[in-house]
Every structure is written in C-alpha cells, then in structure tokens.
Chain A
Amino acid sequence: MAILRAHGLRKDYGKGTGLVRAVDHVDLDVAAGETVAVVGPSGCGKSTLLHLLGGLERPTGGEVWLGEQRIDRMPEAGLARLRRHALGFVFQGFELVDELTARENVELPALLAGESPRVARRRAAALLERVGLADRAAHRPMALSGGQRQRVAVARALIGRPRIVLADEPTGNLDSAATTEVLRLFTALRAEGQTLLIVTHDSRVAATADRVVTMRDGALVGRTHLAGAGGGTGAFAGLEG
C-alpha cells in the first residue's frame, strides 16, 4: 500500500515569458517500507519535488497524499503536525543548529512536539547510539566530520518515528569516506523497514534503493526496480546514461 502518493504534481515559478516549470505533472507512489531514489541532473527539479512531497512547498497543481490525508492543501498548522509525527527530513547541508550539541539537535523535534525534556533526551541518546555517535553526543556540529553531521541529521529525522524519511542529496556535501558512512546507515534503515525517499545524483546512494525514478526537466522519465540494496549499481548506471 502506498504511504506517499503524488498525482499530476506541478510547480511553476514566475509568470508569462519568465515562467519556469520546475515540476511537470509528476505521478509517484512510495509504498510502506520501500526505498525510492529520485535521480537526475542538477536543476531538474528533484529537490523541488521532495519539498512538495514533504509539504515544505505548495504545488501549483496536482495532489499529494500521505496515507489517507491529502496534504497539498493542508493548513500550515496541520502540516507542522505531520512534520512532527509522520515526516522526517534530511538535508544536503545537514541543517544542524550550530549552537546546539549533537544530542540537543536530535532532541529538538521531540521538544517541538511537546515531549518532556527527559523523554526527548533519552530518545536522542538512543538514536545517536543507533547511528554510531553516542560518544559524540556532547559535540557541536563544527566539531564533527561531514559524515558524522549527516548521521546526526538522520538521527534527528528519526526521532519523531516518521512514516517516511525524505532525504535531499544526503551525500551531496560529503567526501567518499563520509558517503560510505551514510550509505551504511541508509542500508540499515532500509533493512529495518523504514520508508525512504532519497533525492540524489550519487549512483552509490541510488543503488541502495528498491526503486529508482529518473527526472529530467521537471518530469519523471524513467523508473527502474533494482534487485536489492547495494547490488544494483550496474542497473542504475545503465539507467542514468
């Protein structure tokens, strides 16, 4: 059963001759427990699609459904509730709060959701342990490597026990070693049944997915089911070309 659905999704910027269609009538279903990778060249609308699916941006047309709830017209307060309890975000630039420690960053969404500080702290500690950063919990982002920062960001995305995690170029700012760290984490999440939608232009990240969809000029132009996590690099490479 699809946990996230988009139908005829469209996003325009500008008007008249300056109109740019960033997302062009996209139909997409993401099933529960599935990992979907959205790939494509820079500027093809991948990130915009992710923002539309996560309710961070309003579409010009089309529909977005999260389970049984249509979210593209949902009031901001309702979207905020969904972001607290049903959606988790991982951004390319990590988007960690500089003045907070790793643990404080992870517990922030729980505090925003009204959890008690004690519960938030306990869950943040558990998640940091899960992403292998228990010993870095008291460090601020600037004291962490790129890979560690992104793992903190993933832990933060998971604290609300989201139905789906939306990751925007999660390895875009990472070197090869750090990318491997994050890939290992996504593979583990996939294995645990966490639903993931990952926007990426990194073939290694896409290879961890169950399914890869390709975007070009705002539209989906290809879909490929991969054999299994970590084993589909060849198929993905062929799709990209």
Chain B
Amino acid sequence: MIEGILIGLKTALSFQNLIMVMIGCFAGTIIGMLPGLGPMTAIALMIPITYGFDPATGLILMAGVYYGAVFGGSTSSILINAPGVPGTVATSFDGYPMAQQGKAGKALAIAAYSSFAGGTIAAIFLLIAAPSLSKVSLSFRSPDYFGLMILGLTAVAAFSSKGNFLKAMMMCVFGLMLASVGQDTLSDIPRFTFNTMNLSDGISFVLVVMATFAMSEALTIILKGNDPTKAAKQISLTELGSIKLDKNETKKMVKTIPRSSLLGFIVGVLPGAGATIASFLAYGMERNFVDEEEKQKFGKGSVQGLSAPETANNAACSGAFVPLLTLGIPGSGTTAVMLGALLGFGIQPGPRLYETNPEIFWSVIMSMYIGMVVLLILNLPLIPYIARILAVPRTFLIPMILFFSVTGIYLMSFNNFDIFLMIGIAVIATILRLYDFPMPPLILAFVLGGLMEENLRRSLLISDGSWSFLWNRPLTVVIMMVIILIIIWQIYSSFIRKKV
C-alpha cells in the first residue's frame, strides 16, 4: 500500500497535475456555486476538455471539479440560502442564519475546515477500504455484478426519487434503453439505429449528461422564469466578516468532525445514499449528541449544526468512490458520470484497476486529498472575490451553459446530428424535470447499461438460459434480498403508510 501511495503521490504531485487540481477546484467551485448547477453538471462540462489529457490527469481534473463543486454548493447555501446541490441543503439550516447575523465569513470558514477535515478523514478510510475491498471483490462473479447493478439502480431510484419510486424506475429503464442504441458489443448487430450511421456507435455518454443536466437545467431556468442569482443581489458579497474562529468554536468542531466523517463515509459507500442523506443524517445525529443549550441554537446558527452536514457530505463524496473504484459500480449520479469518463478513457474500474492501473487508482485517491488542501488554501481567502460569481446575471449564465454544452459535443464529434440529438434529449429532460422525474437514475442506468447486459449475458450463458443464477450463490441471494427489501419499503412508504 505504501508503494501505491508513493506512486499516487508522484503522479498527483507532478506540476501538470497540481495545476489541474487547482484549475479543477477553482472551476468546480464557480460552477457548483451557481444554484441548480451541481457537481454532475460541473464534471459534464469538463469531460470534453479532459479527453485531451492522459487518463490520470483527466481524472485528477475531474476529482478537483467534484470537490470544488461540493464546496461551491455550500457557499451558495450559506450566503444566499440557495443550495447549489441537494447535498448542501442541510448546510443552509445553520449556515444561512449565521450569514444573516453578519458572520458569513465565519460560516464559510467553518464549512471549509469541516469539509477539509471530513474529506481528509474519509480519504484515509478510502486508502484503507479500497484495496481491501478490491481483493474481496475479485471473488465476485457475473451474477453478483448483475445483482449489484440492479441494487445500485434500485437504491438510487429509491433515494433520489423523493417518494416517486415508479418515476425513478421509469427513468432507469429509459436510461438503459438509450444505452442499448448502437451495435451490440459482441455480435456487432445494429440495434435501434433506424439505418442511421450516426447511431451505429451508440449515443455518447457526454451527450446524454450534457443534455439531461447542463442544457436541461438552463432550459428549466428559462421555462420557469427563475433567476437563480436574484438572491445574491440582495446581500453584500464583499463584506463577509472575519474568517477567524475562536477557541470555543474550534473545540466544538473537534468533537463533531470525527463522528460526522465516519457516518458520512459509511453512508457514501452505500449505493444510492450519497451526500444528501449523509448530511441530513449527520445533522440529525449531531442534534442528539449536543447538550440542551446547544440544541436550542440548531437552525439559528449553531457551529455544530453547520459543521456536521458539511463534514458528512464531503466524507460521503470520498465514500462514493469506494464502490466505483473497487467494483466498477457507481453508487450515485455523480460517480456514474465519473465512471462514464473513465470508460471514455478506455479504463474499466473494478477490482483489477488496482492491479492493472495502480497509478490511476492511487493518483485519484491522492489527488482527492490534494484537492482538499487546495480548496482550503486557495478558496478560503478568495471567497469574497469568488462569491461575486453568485451575482452573475442569468442573461449571461444561460447562454454560457448552452454554449459550453454545444461546444462540448461539437469538440467530440464535429457532427450536427449529435448536437440535434442533444437538444432533443434536453427538451425531453426539461419536460420530465418539470413533472419531478429524477435524472440521476437515468444517467446511472445509461452508464451501467452495457455492463449490465454483459453480466446478464455471461450469467444466462453459464446457467444455460435459466434465471436460477439469481439464487445459486449466497452473495447473489443476499443482494437480491436487499433489492426486494428496498422495493417492499418503497411500496410500504408510498402507499400503505400514507393511507394509515
């Protein structure tokens, strides 16, 4: 492991990669800060640029963007009570009241230190957990992988759907349908191409991500007539107050950070759960840990109330990399985008990544940590300046998003068809968003589609067409049981509990 860490450090600390982490963190912070534009959009916008680099550099850039976007989301939560991403909603509970009390600088500092500490502790957990799990996952067979992918989709559908499980499952199927377009990987038989050469290679992953996130986000803002930066115009973004913390505040954070990190990491590892659930759970847990006096401060600007969700959401971000790097199965929409990018580089994450591409495996892990340091030393002093981004009017914001979306696809294919297809999917996604159809399950399903078919193919061929592979191995049985439990829980919470 020490050797791996050194390989990772050597790659991550090269001049080019350090610059990439900085650019990534900076760009991610800016994009993540804009309400509505979260890490998925930020990474999606970066993908076409990363294809010009070697895989390790590209992934380091994206990891920086990811952390930067999460940090940026916290900033908009604290300053204007407009969380850029769902994972930072809980941050606004105490962060925004602190900002209203004239302690915006302090709130941002607490968020930055907590994020740093949560990310650092979780990166250590990741260092320990990932190689061990990689070795364990070598014993996984195709039926287990197929089961795990169904579990991932069901869990993301259950957790991201906010009570709309069926809608989320429809989006999963839609994502899988889109993934099935193009030539069959084994036989090269064209499927759903309608005799168009443009579809024979399938639909590009970047196209789907750009359409469903970046472009449809921009269209939704226009359609609803929202101005995401309106709230920023009502506050002073240059006078944020001191960023120094006193002894008492530091003491409170020291107690909160370890437990929230552990919770966040564990929740992050679970498929589908992610930063949002981690931050809410940490907030709730912290409220139970503090004394009566501090409990009264929750929701009114409590240091622990702000530190706990911020620590947990960053720890969960690191935790989410565990299933991605060790099993090759993303547990969230954002890591699904990362998986798509990895596949674009020709790298198949999974247990063998640790052996076949140790420099990528370790450099991604190490760059996460470096990203945390960069965020702390670069972004915190610059926050009063970066915060001005929040005041960018939508008249400039929307055209820029549309421009980056079209350019991203143009750079990849130099093809009108792909641009029109992206616009078509974006329009459909905008209508679906309007009626609360969640997009993360669609992306996850789109990314997993090929792998899922491949594992189902192997499983069915081994079992001679029988579905008994689902209960032949104890591990597969356990996975299927968890899937059934999630479905039963969803039916119970959607229909039976509401009637009662």
Are A and B part of the same complex? no
Q: Which B residues contact A (CB, under 8 angstroms)?
A: none
Residues on A facing B (Cβ under 8 Å): none
